[in-house]
Chain A
């Protein structure tokens, strides 16, 4: 594999992990606009463990993920009392606050950035991203995934059916945070350097865009969205200075044609029925 191709696929792998971190709460109707903050928690916590405490990367990365998940629970409980635009604002502010904390935290290099000693090769990053996709595919086959949709589409009815709406929302938010932390921890160990400025608002917003573009109705939407956003600008490289304009045009056209995202539940059922019809 060429260095260029490997580099692009590594970026894709990180974008896919981030996309699922946004997808989990969004599937339950909760927009987390501070996902970069949770990536930063995972990245810094894991890097600190390998650098300062001499932990192996294999223990530090899950720990970084757990740290982000724990913060997700602690913050999710109060923050998820808000809804819609207020939740978006609260998580947006949260992402900023977390980045600001790391920017000023001297033990992890503050504004100068933080080099990371242990290294995760591209193969490890790919394996992690594939693992995340498989895990998400597995989760999408459970009642938990069904309840995410139920809570999103009619929280009152879900509640009357005995489902703990708050429990599902907090779990989805915290699992998303843990996933973001996992991606962040891998990011730190692959690029061997992190700085707080990387985990900024644009990173959060772009990730949300992938997910909305791909669609939140099925588990494949985030994968398709992340792939589209990562690969299409690369494919348009030939047209050089026009590529971002072309890319923006694509997005506008697609969203006008498929406001629910590229991959929708009914699309899936249509395919399934076709393939059944063909085999019968």
Chain B
């Protein structure tokens, strides 16, 4: 693995810092005393068998659920009790495991929703941008699509598109918020090999641009090609952390994966 990037000063706050996090659902402890941090400008993987609590971590960080206890800092800002709506402004955006696009809107319209934080003044709200040919917002959204080779879908109704395309549009929408930290929930799930390769190139380009990624993914080859570090969850607890090659040899990790009928 490579040496730390020269831009990362030791004093800089991590992109994401989670400390002592606890969350129960109706008495079931989904997250147990979880602490880890995600360094800036790199990709970190969050892995673990199904039901380990990976999506729940994303839901706690983005504010879909409140925490029972513990704290969450994004770029040094304590967001633990910040209303979910305000968290994206601290620089963290996410995609969804079960693709949550607005299916009867066009691809471009979905992407415009993703831009909201950067166009949220009253004037922006009331600008009849659809009457303005080639408006900046539309140009930007098209450019983001083109970067993932998806520009031909710009005007399509989302609901009519194949799964792999929708999955990647969900990711593009997350990137449009201008966030510095992206949490991607199984971005490669359901993609065919060529789509997976396109996704890998896209994520590498995002990292090269200085973005921080936290990626939940079951495909370990994919994880290995993108992420320097992995955090392993099992039953809501962190059982290992470090480079994938090291973590993968850890007996606790092996047991967690073999103990379930998990692929990988």
Contact = CB atoms under 8 A, between A and B. Distances in A.
A123 interface: no
Q: Which 6 A-B pairs have the closest CB atoms?
A: A141-B128, A141-B130, A162-B117, A153-B102, A162-B88, A157-B100
B250 interface: no
A159 B63 CA distance: 10
Interface of A: 138-144, 146-147, 149-150, 153-154, 156-165, 217, 264-266, 269, 273
A217 B128 contact: no
Contacts of B89: 162
A154 B103 CA distance: 10
Contact of A162 (B124, B131, B177): B177
A269 B155 contact: yes
B84 interface: yes
Nearest to B96: A157
Given A157-B102, A163-B85, A265-B105, 8 more contacts: A138-B128, A141-B130, A142-B126, A144-B125, A144-B126, A156-B100, A158-B113, A160-B85
A59 B198 CA distance: 61
Interface of B: 62-64, 84-89, 94, 96, 100, 102-106, 109, 112-114, 116-117, 119-120, 124-131, 155, 157, 160, 177
B172 to A, nearest CB: 13
B113 to A, nearest CB: 5
**Could you tell me the dominant secondary structure of chain B's interface residues?**
helix
B108 to A, nearest CB: 10
A150 B102 contact: yes
B62 to A, nearest CB: 5
Contact of A147 (B87, B113, B117): B113
Contact of B64 (A138, A140, A142, A156): A156
Nearest to A270: B157
Nearest to B106: A269
Contacts of B116: 143, 147, 161-163
26 contacts: A139-B128, A141-B129, A141-B131, A142-B126, A143-B112, A143-B119, A143-B125, A144-B126, A147-B113, A149-B104, A149-B109, A150-B113, A153-B104, A154-B102, A156-B100, A157-B100, A160-B62, A160-B84, A160-B87, A160-B88, A162-B86, A162-B89, A162-B117, A162-B177, A163-B85, A269-B155
B113 A142 contact: no
